[in-house]
Amino acid sequence: MEVIMGANSNMAVVEGLSRVLADSYTLYIKTHGHHWNVEGPNFPALHAMFEEQYTELADAVDQIAERIRALGAKAPAGYAAFGELTSIPESGNDLSAEEMVADLLSAHEAVATSSKAALEAAEAAEDEVSIDLMVQRITIHDKTAWMLRSTLAK
């Protein structure tokens, strides 16, 4: 993978962003699946919430991939590439609505964690654009995790 700007630290940024991209795309697919398959008395609210989340993620994966390209590397693409990079496990289609919310909560926390690792790499490389992007992603995933956690509260 050839990376512009010449510094080895940029490779660490690309690797971190690639993991965030894989986690984000995996979360996108998971969220879309839960949107399609959610059932129960909270269906309307959860269906709408999941749609809002996957719509936001669709834009996010594009921003992350384009940042990788701006750094001179190829963005990972495809299920095999994402499968090797993601930290988010697959989940089945037979989850209850509550299990879906818990599943998405765990996944958003995982993306926040991978985003924090990419942020550290970007800070070490003094890559202000990637720093800004990761701060935005962490903010969104932390807020979404809070909303999902609140949805699960008894």
- For the chain, the three-class secondary structure string (H helix, E strand, C coil) is CCCCCCCHHHHHHHHHHHHHHHHHHHHHHHHHHHHHHCCCCCHHHHHHHHHHHHHHHHHHHHHHHHHHHHCCCCCCCCHHHHHHHCCCCCCCCCCCHHHHHHHHHHHHHHHHHHHHHHHHHHHHCCCHHHHHHHHHHHHHHHHHHHHHHHHHCC
Q: What is the pLDDT of residue 1?
A: 45
Residue range(s) defining the domain that contains residue 89:
8-152
Total domains present in the chain: 1
Q: What is the pLDDT of residue 88?
A: 98
**Does residue 3 sit within a domain?**
no
Q: For residue 113, is it within any domain?
A: yes
Instruction: State the CATH number of the domain containing residue 80.
Output: 1.20.1260.10
Note whether residue 110 is domain-resident: yes
Answer yes or no: is 80 within a domain: yes
Q: Is residue 2 part of a domain?
A: no
Q: pLDDT under 70 in the chain at which residues?
A: 1-9
